[in-house]
Amino acid sequence: MTSYNRRNVLKASAALVGASTLGFPAIVSAQAANIKIGHLTPLTGFLGALGAYAQLGIRMAEEEINAAGGVMGRKIEIMSEDSVNPATAATKAQRMLDRDGVNFLMGEINSASALTIMQVAARNKRFYLQIGARSDALRGKNCNRYTFHVDIPSHVMVYAVGKALVRDNMMKGKKFFTLTADYIFGHDLGSAAKQFFAENGGTVIGDELVATDVTEFSPYLLKIRQAKPDIVCSNLAGNQVTNLIKQYAEFGLPYPIVGFNLNTADAWAAGEGNLSGTWPTVWYHTLDVPSSKTFVANFIKKYGKPPENHAWIEYVALYIMAQAMRETKSTDTDKFIAYLEKETQFDILKGRKGYFRSWDHQLIQEAYPFTVRKKGMAKDKWDFLELGKAVPGPNEPLEVLSVTKEHNTCVM
């Protein structure tokens, strides 16, 4: 009987390790490894409530995909962190690539943070699916080859609501007073709004830039009272909108308020009876589409509440990437880019499928205006918003609201 002492065992183990670094066992190990995805989203600050829903959505998709066998026989592993601010977002994105070994990057809601993550992706030549930030500049002058954008941009949001205002005779000859978030997304939104006003006979008689940490709107509401506009327009973001809506209702100003940006979590936080007017959304949980209804039912069963639009968009974004990995049989950045630039269609739980435009990497899709139900008509605290018809209409091209190539400064 042969005996083995501790030294012999260690020598044999070392030999096996060395063999695995050169031969077949290493390949098997790599194939079995999880697909690591670096995910960043704000969990604190004025967008924190939206980021919380974003995490719920992507985690639900991760669990479903892994329960169904994963991708290419491998499980997906979401490594998610609070992006905090632009500088921290960039640092964390780089660390995820260097230390954590993520295959690619996803996420974000804050447009300023998304821009810094885009720069990290371009510098490292790694794929980034930018999910929730809406600034036109990200798809315009700051676009890059390595980034694709899922959410609707500022221009589409403005035109989705603007068309409803034109239809309801609330544009031509009307005087508008606007409140605009003082960062890249707000500036883009304000510029798109002014362009739409000018094209459709509206006049801006006042425009106030509002810092993202402002919670007290009395000084701005007093200026609105003095200006006596026909309509007040919000170009704010995150819980800024919630605070404005609540305080606007308390002031009792007689001027109707509309907005070109409102996430449903912020609308819900404002509460029934405070919100009024017409607003845009990329998706809402009452959408009458079978696949969307299934997602909503599963989300409510899991979390005890309906999904907000950032939960939906993160959910479908991970499924987009799962499809890309399966079809390309890869996690390679260049293969992803080539696959998505073919304008491959994706089921995004809407009436029409979406696709990424090849030259600016924007997901082209339907949007919706919504209004507010009459007080007392809501079935629950999440039901007081009433979704309008999809725009573009069913007989219009999906790109009809989007910035054309001739008017976009994107150069890959």
pLDDT band of residue 3 (cuts 50, 70, 90) is very low
Supply the pLDDT for residue 28: 46
pLDDT tens digits, residue range 244-268? 999 999 999 999 999 999 888 988 8
Q: Which residues on neighbouring strands pair with residue 178, listed in sequence order?
A: 207, 233
pLDDT band at 175 (very low <50, low <70, confident <90, very high): very high
Give the pLDDT mean for 130-153: 96
First to last CA, the chain: 69
Could you tell me the sign of the dihedral formed by the alpha carbons of 9, 10, 11, 13, in that order? positive
Q: Please report which residue ranges of 81-131 form alpha helices under DSSP H.
A: 86-98, 111-124
DSSP helix/strand/coil, 50: helix
Amino acid 21: pLDDT: 42
Q: Which CATH number fits domain 155-281+367-407: 3.40.50.2300, 3.40.190.170, 3.40.50.510, 3.40.50.300?
A: 3.40.50.2300
Q: In this predicted model, what pLDDT tens digit does every residue of 87-119 receive, in sequence order?
A: 999 999 999 999 999 999 999 999 999 999 999
402, pLDDT greater than 80: yes
pLDDT digit string, tens, across residues 363-385: 999 999 888 888 788 888 898 88
Q: In this predicted model, what pLDDT tens digit does every residue of 11-23 receive, in sequence order? A: 444 443 444 444 5
The confidence score (pLDDT) of residue 20 equals: 42
- 120, pLDDT greater than 90: yes
Residue 14, pLDDT score: 44
Residue 194 has pLDDT above 90, yes or no: yes
The letter for the amino acid at 149 is: H
Distance CA 326, CA 176 (A): 49
Residue 159: pLDDT band (50, 70, 90) is confident
What does CATH list as the number for 33-152+287-364? 3.40.50.2300
What are the tens digits of pLDDT across the range 346-360?
999 999 999 999 999
> pTM value?
0.87
For residue range 214-235, list pLDDT tens digits in order.
Answer: 999 999 999 999 999 999 999 9
Is the per-residue pLDDT at 412 higher than 90? no
Average pLDDT, the chain: 90
pLDDT of residue 203 exceeding 70? yes
CA–CA gap between residue 197 and residue 393 (Å, rounded): 22
pLDDT tens, 30-86? 456 999 999 999 999 989 999 999 999 999 999 999 999 999 999 999 999 999 999
Q: Say how many residues make up the chain.
A: 412
More reliable by pLDDT, 26 or 46: 46
CA 136 to chain centroid, in Å, comes to 13
Give the percent of the chain with pLDDT over 90. Answer: 73
Is the pLDDT reported for residue 25 higher than 80?
no
What ranges do the domains of the chain cover? Answer: 33-152+287-364, 155-281+367-407
What letters, b where the CB count within 10 A reaches 16 and e where it falls short, cover 336-359? bbebbbeeeebebbbebebbbbee
Q: Is 11 helix (H, G, I), strand (E, B) or coil?
A: helix
Domains 33-152+287-364 and 155-281+367-407 share a fold: yes
Residue ranges of E strands in 34-189: 35-41, 76-82, 104-107, 128-130, 147-149, 175-181
pLDDT confidence of residue 310: 97
pLDDT over 70 percentage in the chain: 92
pLDDT at 123 over 80: yes
